[in-house]
Structure 1
Amino acid sequence: MMGHPELVTEMEKVELGPLISTEGLEQLQNKYVQSVRKSVSEWMHKALQVELQDWQRDQEPDTDHEGFYQTSLPTIITQMLEENARVALMIGESLRDQTIQMGLYEMENLLNRFREALVEFGKEHRRNSSNNKNKYYLHYLLASISNCIILKKSTESLQQQQSSPSVGQLSRTPPNPLAALDRAVRRACRLVMDHLLLDLQPFLPGLLTRPWLVQGDPTPKLCCVLERHLELYGRVRPPCRQRLQEEAQWLMVVEYVRALMQKRLVCRSAEERRHLAQQMVQDDQQFREILHGLEGEGSVPEVNPLALLLVLADFIRLKDPGMLTLEVSGLAAKYPDIGEEHVSVLLDIRGDVSRDIRGSVLDLLEQSAPPLPAGYRPIFTDILVPPSTMAFCLPTAKCA
């Protein structure tokens, strides 16, 4: 029975059968997986608590050998799940697959709690933003994004080790840690953009005003804030680094156009229209200088949002108001989500549009409103136009 030579002649291997029945073996494996699951759950809980404590540190997160921000969380989780899978494989592939499946469930649970912690982290920072309690808030958000990228690679590696995606089911619904990862990353990226907007906010009210037209402020200050944030985004692992850089471009352009829609500046002459357009072009150049270094990293989207500033500058600079109908037609073709209210404000800013031309332009826009093409990212949809002081007068109708 143990390979003893004197017993070989007395026993036939085919007659021995397994030492443990199939049902007994299944029970033992299930008991083992549940025991490991309890241990994994406890370790993940402890790792998350350590992560939350790290977020409160009064210093930057650690960096890896490539210079990317990171904390200990992904290393602990990855090593634990990989080691459990390796040990289970010593028994058999079936147990290994069950152990991996269990680990993926626990990973999904952890990531859901991680996302909730990010939400609370953001709320806490907003409450304490005035006293600068956590000056490394942004840095740890960026570290969290990098951590998620590492965990994604680990998750994909574990999934590839499984013999079959259907073995060892512990629940009717299969685990989906990758979806939980995506939700956590999107939440962290949203918080990063919220923080950028918060830093830009003090300077936005001075944009596109008469002092801005004369002195150029506060564009240089906006550029300093944007440049500082973009530099920190370089500490995030690809592809999220590029994603953050793109989102920062969109946010800057949206806020710029939003300021334009406030009608803080209405031109009183052709010279003022020329000056306004020229200043917008200069602002565009300053933004592009900051973003120029990103082009080599493949972070510039196919549709560069900064191009909109030049298009709007051309609209304001146009000398012949009679050509505005054609100009609006081209504007709507490039940006099909632009609305009548946006065009109406642009006409007001010009200050030289007659009632008849205004009516013709807005009628054309209403008749030729194209559907949004597939893959088009709206930019005007999120830009609300303040209500007119004479709200009872429709833009295309004559007031009685």
Structure 2
Amino acid sequence: MGRTMKEDLEAVAERLKPLFPAEFAVVAAYAEGYHAHFAAQLEALAQFELCERDTYMLLLWVQNLYPNDIINSPKLAGELQGIKLGSLLPPKQIRMLEASFLSNEVTSVKELMARALELESNHWAQDVAPQRLNGRCHSELAIDIMQIISQGQAKAESITLDLGMQIKQVLLAVLAAFLRSYQGAFDEFLERCTQLGNYRANVMANINNCLSFRTSVEQKWQTSQDILGPLRELKSHGFDTLLHGLFSKLKPLFKRLTQTRWAASVQTLEEIVSIMEKSLPEFSELHDCFQEELMELVHVYLVKEYIVQLSKRQVVLKTAEQQQQLARQVLANANLIEHFCTQNGSRATWLHQALPTLAEIIRLQDPSAIKIEVATYATCYPDFSKGHLSSILAIKGNLSSSEVKSIRSILDISTRTQEPFKSLFSLIKVG
């Protein structure tokens, strides 16, 4: 019908208009007649209970195809410029149809996303191996979900750009709800399917998924809303799962540090690093950015566990020479940890002073100099507390209680940053 109208009006403009006097406004007469006929037809159609497809097509016709492809088509735009044909449907009717379209489209998007997640989580539970893409564990879930979202928005934009903006805000909320569901399904998989052969590969595939989601949201949606929180949780739980067994294996080795009174700490740490190094190739199936994040977690763990052992109050050294010897051992161990972690991709430069400064506190003998180191340390690690400090100072058996009290008091002075900081000492419990 639309094509017929367009061809008829073009024929009127090209062939009939020259045959009539200008005051007859023959093109306007035909256009107004067609318009009135279409408006009556569409208003009658709009009274029916329309299915999703019909609602969409009716809006597409009224809001886009008719005004743009017919009224403003190249051959007719000039002819119809002065004619105020108006809309084919009243504004109230259009608003009702748009509300119905938005509701239908959002429901459809939710159903498609739920189906995609169900299919994906069934694959995990059935121990289906993830795809490999460029040597990385890969899942199509993020691509499928973002495609469903994009198609929903594109459909709305094909009607009007304003409707596209309206549905964008709704779809962002739908995506946020989906990501929470995704995280829940992944957590359930982590808990229930530990014995499956492809368990760890599927964990890595889902961690890799986070990059696809994040890239799509940041590039396409450019939203200030933080809808990626569930993905951060998913990634964190995935990393914890991948590293749990390895860290459990290293725990007894760290305990050996205090059992040997630090005499062979470098050898013990070399053994720890060797075990860790042998485990790293498995993680090559993560994207590079996630390998770096995982290595930062390893870096934090090694530094944290070392400090835990140092803080156990099992070593009390009464002479400056003994303290300096321990400080040298701590510094050597710090260098070993830092070299291993940075060589394997850790970018946790914020950890570089964690152990060397503690070594310096152990080495120094002048309480005033120790105070300066402690004050500086507290600015670098705002979660370094008096309890942590006391555990380190307990090593220095030649400090009087008044000197310890004086050094501890430096933490009463507020040198703490208000900026967000990464936790280190809040992960370490002291008695």
- Confirm or deny that 1:149 pairs with 2:153: no
1:378 CA displacement: 5.0
1:334 counterpart residue number: 377
- Of the three residues 122, 138, 146, the one matched with 1:70 is 138
Kept in 2, the 8 Å contact 1:141–1:188? The answer is no
Kept in 2, the 8 Å contact 1:44–1:110? The answer is yes
**Within 2, Cα distance between the matches of 1:187 and 1:201?**
21
- Confirm or deny that 1:24 pairs with 2:67: no
**Within 2, Cα distance between the matches of 1:328 and 1:180?**
44
Alignment of 1:5-154 (within 5 A): 5=11, 9=26, 11-13=29-31, 16=35, 17=85, 18-56=87-125, 58=127, 61-65=130-134, 67-124=135-192, 133-134=195-196, 137-154=199-216
1:107 CA displacement: 1.5
1:88 CA displacement: 4.2
SS of the residue corresponding to residue 349 of structure 1 reads coil
Alignment of 1:135-214 (within 5 A): 137-159=199-221, 179-193=226-240, 195-196=242-243, 198-207=245-254, 208-211=257-260, 213-214=262-263
What per-residue deviation string (whole Å, max 9, x for no partner) do you get for residues 192-217 of structure 1?
14653553234334423143734445
What per-residue deviation string (whole Å, max 9, x for no partner) do you get for residues 208-261 of structure 1?
314373444542343245446665555444655544433432233222212221
- Of the three residues 294, 302, 305, the one matched with 1:252 is 302
**Within 1, Cα distance between the matches of 2:284 and 2:371?**
38
**Within 2, Cα distance between the matches of 1:35 and 1:151?**
24
2:363 counterpart residue number: 317
TM-score (norm 1): 0.73
SS of the residue corresponding to residue 415 of structure 2 reads coil
Kept in 1, the 8 Å contact 2:261–2:315? The answer is no
**Within 1, Cα distance between the matches of 2:213 and 2:298?**
25
Kept in 2, the 8 Å contact 1:85–1:99? The answer is yes
Kept in 2, the 8 Å contact 1:200–1:225? The answer is no
**Within 1, Cα distance between the matches of 2:224 and 2:179?**
7
**Within 1, Cα distance between the matches of 2:299 and 2:335?**
13
**Within 2, Cα distance between the matches of 1:230 and 1:324?**
43
1:370 counterpart residue number: 415
Alignment of 1:254-269 (within 5 A): 254-267=304-317
**Within 1, Cα distance between the matches of 2:301 and 2:237?**
11
Kept in 1, the 8 Å contact 2:207–2:238? The answer is no
Kept in 1, the 8 Å contact 2:183–2:233? The answer is no
1:351 counterpart residue number: 397
SS of the residue corresponding to residue 335 of structure 1 reads helix
What per-residue deviation string (whole Å, max 9, x for no partner) do you get for residues 372-394 of structure 1?
353554533342211xxxxxxxx
**Within 1, Cα distance between the matches of 2:218 and 2:238?**
26
**Within 1, Cα distance between the matches of 2:322 and 2:192?**
45
Decide whether aligned partners of structure 1 residues 348 and 241 sit closer, same or farther in structure 2, where only a CA change above 3 A counts: same
1:3 counterpart residue number: 7
**Within 1, Cα distance between the matches of 2:207 and 2:224?**
15
Kept in 1, the 8 Å contact 2:179–2:231? The answer is yes
**Within 1, Cα distance between the matches of 2:131 and 2:242?**
21
1:157 CA displacement: 4.6
Where does the alignment leave 5 or more consecutive residues of structure 2 unmatched?
Answer: 18-25, 36-84
Larger radius of gyration: 2
1:348 CA displacement: 2.1
**Within 2, Cα distance between the matches of 1:31 and 1:37?**
10
Kept in 2, the 8 Å contact 1:200–1:222? The answer is no
**Within 1, Cα distance between the matches of 2:88 and 2:401?**
95
1:393 counterpart residue number: none
TM-score (norm 2): 0.69
SS of the residue corresponding to residue 385 of structure 1 reads coil
Which amino acid counterpart does residue 342 of structure 1 have in structure 2?
Answer: H
1:383 counterpart residue number: 428
Where does the alignment leave 5 or more consecutive residues of structure 1 unmatched?
Answer: 161-175, 387-400
What per-residue deviation string (whole Å, max 9, x for no partner) do you get for residues 51-92 of structure 1?
223434657633333x44321201211222333444444444
**Within 2, Cα distance between the matches of 1:59 and 1:278?**
51
Kept in 2, the 8 Å contact 1:209–1:264? The answer is yes
